[in-house]
Structure 1
């Protein structure tokens, strides 16, 4: 292949000021490169605690779950049918991420058409930079979290809302086309099946449209919004059905992430703010936030099409920001709002032809180094071992890396270092009590220990969770009284071990405390025994369900 032909597949050699064409080679070659790269990461990048937790959901499919809506489990289930291990659990996410990127490009094109601006190659390259190189969006293309499908849902919803508004302007209709209301609602429904963040974002879309259209015109849009609400409700109905059948447990759980028990603290606020900058990288966070702030400075700006992107961002961002003043808020919770800013921002952003083009070129290559090289290095087992060995040599242990790397070889290390051999039987979805007296079942004391053991032990066994103080998916799955007088081995962190609680449910035969090299500061507890009679276990379980701390 000649050099000229190769340049057709590179975004670095395209004419930036030219109008973008979908048939261009460099867009599809770039997306294909990131697809292959993310599939490689799916296989080799260490599985985080949340990921294996959601993967364990997929082995026990439900209409919804106490922690979050069900779409993440459904994605993992379908992928696991096709492939095993982390590759199967994550398999669909890189493809979903491509869909999100395409919807963002389509949305940006609509904004350019509505505002009569050129939709150039530079605009699409800018979108690729933000969607592929900002750390949070980059990794949400492989990490098994509800956020991946949420981003896809809101990106699709934004596009169909913009399409409805654009058609209304071109054809000078009195009302928004209900055909687009149907698709708008379907994608909002997908968002609601993914994460409860869909609600404030949908409210932002609604208010932004009313401000843009005026109240008088919005009265005529009632059929559009009725169609949207009905289609969104039908798609997301599994969430409402599950909550109705389970005393609205998930809604109670999520409410505790908001302002319940609010107590003013500055540290969570600062962690959230600086964490958001880190997740996006400061050179992406600051321009995006400034664009949004500038977009609502003037009253006339509320009549701009940019309002459709900006208002959902501010509603979501400030809800979480104010919540972080009193409770812990994770930085990635607000990232869907930043994604919605990208289509409008990139129409005006000129990173490679503007005043600061030299700086942006350097920052782009810096972003490539951070967002491609680091995950790739962490996907190489030899590299991970070097990191663990380096920590051990410098500080004497690898304790800070415990939760990232201990799980892969935990079963083997237990046998080699402590002579503890745990036989792990294949997973059974039904709570069978056959062979209850002959074999030991496995349990742990915290949700992520339960999930990590289940994922990494041989045969990926069913691991039970004996945490009686905190609610999780396992609270609903594991009715311990069904295993009265069954043999159990409990393995977990000493930090989670409450001797009185375990003695209430088990006749203990053996307790052992130890650490595994090179994690010398992380004490592990091994407990062996037989569960007590059914009546006792029922009392404990009933009290646990009654005293759940959501």
Structure 2
């Protein structure tokens, strides 16, 4: 039976990819889940196209902007690029595995990647990950053709794909860095450093220029944000290090599935210990993924590591694992790992139905809770807005609190108002502090939503309006018993920018010293 399935996939890989696309498309249209905070946040980025943003390069905003320009500002439209990128990813992933290990290796690798739950999420949620994954595997595909098939044009295509990956996420800098290591350690291909490697780097450098220029204009804010993810600001006890590592490993097991993660880890360690005996293609696959994965696993013991950091590093690891299976390793365990992985994938797709069937919706056991509350909150907020100001089109929205509060309401309110955020600390902690405040709304009204009661709203914000009044308490659908408070600020007189005030104060102190 397994042999027939593999042979069919070898003959009809396009049909398998189209079937996966159909399942994902049906799930996208039927699930009814709201945007998560990051998706709404990136959608708000897309309304102001730029060369870079507070925490990430611009690709995610560009793609969402293109999709919503074509389809409108709807949840499905925001997520549509993830669906399209996911189909392209599957094709290039299969083509890459086939180039390394033939049709059977390509079929095994395709089964492996389809059996990972992360492949469901990465083709449903439109975050920075879908474009990174897609352009990353395209870069690997063309690098393989350039390095091992000797195709000169493939160097430029690989560079363009790597540049697109860099425009998606800073982690793509690992591609040229690891390629450099591979060329330095491969005596037969070291000569490619003279001409071909610079040709590959050219598109990456071109893509980096506007990112660097934007950051130079904005106090290198993206680099500061990235730097904050590394290191520990204060000494951490051993128990905390072990907790970080445990949580990170659990995250990997859930996203990749236990059996596939275990096999991939064993396969990677086996290849690493036999690095000197590997062929050039196997060394390339190991360096381009599993070696980096092992590095992030080590990092998770030293500091808190985000669970999605190593995801691109799994791709060549899965291809390497498929090649080992084709060579006769892991035969029985491979089958069990695949079956359990597909069960997890099926459970992921069926989760909304299962939660309803077992009456677990909106309970502590419902992992989809954070997908459901924002539309409900927006309905309540809009009702209160219409009662107080029937013509809301010329008003703005100001959030006191997390950036998600601003972006989700901006998306789900029917008029999609321009959203702002008031950061009381004076720190730049989101894109809302990079953008200017609502200075174009001077003389106009704004709705302020906060978790603070009127007594706790900053006096400087209250004083910026001619009149500031409480409108309503609104239940927080995500936290039973908690409240949001909606206020109306009438006739904005000026924008009391705490970021600028902090910068002016620091500049004054520095000059005084």
| TM-score range relative to shorter protein | 0.7 to 0.9
Aligned length: 493
Superposed CA deviations along residues 49-103 of structure 1, whole A, max 9, x for unmatched, are: 1111111111111111111011111111111122231221121222211222222
Contact 1:320 1:334 in 2 (8 A): yes
Residue equivalent to 1:490? 448
Contact 1:185 1:230 in 2 (8 A): yes
SS in 2 for 1:345: helix
The answer as to 2:51 corresponding to 1:77 is: no
- 2:149 maps to which of 164, 167, 176: 167
Superposed CA deviations along residues 116-150 of structure 1, whole A, max 9, x for unmatched, are: xxx244x3332222322211122112211111111
- 1:200 maps to which of 174, 177, 198: 174
Give 1:18-37 correspondences, 5 Å limit: 24-25=11-12, 27-37=13-23
The answer as to 2:441 corresponding to 1:479 is: no
Contact 1:79 1:89 in 2 (8 A): yes
Residue equivalent to 2:51? 63
Deviation at 1:156, TM superposition (A): 1.3
SS in 1 for 2:481: strand
Out of 443-452 and 223-232, give the one that drifted further. Answer: 443-452
SS in 2 for 1:197: helix
Residue equivalent to 1:107? 96
Distance 2:504 2:152 in 1: 46
- 1:146 maps to which of 115, 124, 128: 128
State the TM-score, normalizing by the size of structure 1.
0.79
Gaps of 5+ in 2: 507-513
State the TM-score, normalizing by the size of structure 2.
0.84
CA RMSD of aligned residues (A): 3.5
Residue equivalent to 2:193? 221
Give 1:114-513 correspondences, 5 Å limit: 119-121=102-104, 123-168=105-150, 178-213=152-187, 217-259=189-231, 261=233, 263-264=235-236, 265-266=240-241, 267-301=243-277, 304-314=280-290, 316-317=292-293, 320-321=296-297, 323-325=299-301, 327-350=303-326, 356-357=331-332, 360-361=334-335, 363-378=337-352, 390=360, 403-413=370-380, 425=392, 439=395, 441-469=397-425, 470-484=428-442, 486-494=444-452, 502-507=458-463, 508-510=468-470, 513=473
Distance 2:318 2:112 in 1: 7
Distance 1:138 1:88 in 2: 18
SS in 2 for 1:213: coil
Distance 1:313 1:456 in 2: 39
* Cα separation, partners in 2 of 1:416 and 1:447, compared to 1, 3 Å: closer
SS in 1 for 2:308: helix
* Cα separation, partners in 2 of 1:443 and 1:514, compared to 1, 3 Å: closer
SS in 2 for 1:489: strand
The answer as to 2:27 corresponding to 1:41 is: yes
- 1:527 maps to which of 478, 484, 487: 487
Deviation at 1:344, TM superposition (A): 2.2
Superposed CA deviations along residues 464-505 of structure 1, whole A, max 9, x for unmatched, are: 2223445211112242444445432222445xx896663212
The runs of at least 4 aligned residues of structure 1 exceeding 6 Å deviation read 383-387, 398-401, 415-424
The answer as to 2:29 corresponding to 1:14 is: no
Distance 2:490 2:318 in 1: 57
SS in 1 for 2:186: helix
* Cα separation, partners in 2 of 1:480 and 1:546, compared to 1, 3 Å: farther
Distance 1:312 1:262 in 2: 33
Deviation at 1:319, TM superposition (A): 5.2
- 1:537 maps to which of 496, 499, 506: 496
Contact 2:56 2:222 in 1 (8 A): yes
Residue equivalent to 1:98? 87
Distance 1:213 1:547 in 2: 57
SS in 1 for 2:309: helix
SS in 2 for 1:111: helix
Distance 2:197 2:390 in 1: 56
Deviation at 1:205, TM superposition (A): 2.2
Contact 1:263 1:326 in 2 (8 A): no
Distance 2:45 2:390 in 1: 23
Deviation at 1:299, TM superposition (A): 4.7
Deviation at 1:223, TM superposition (A): 0.5
Contact 1:414 1:421 in 2 (8 A): no
Distance 2:77 2:410 in 1: 15
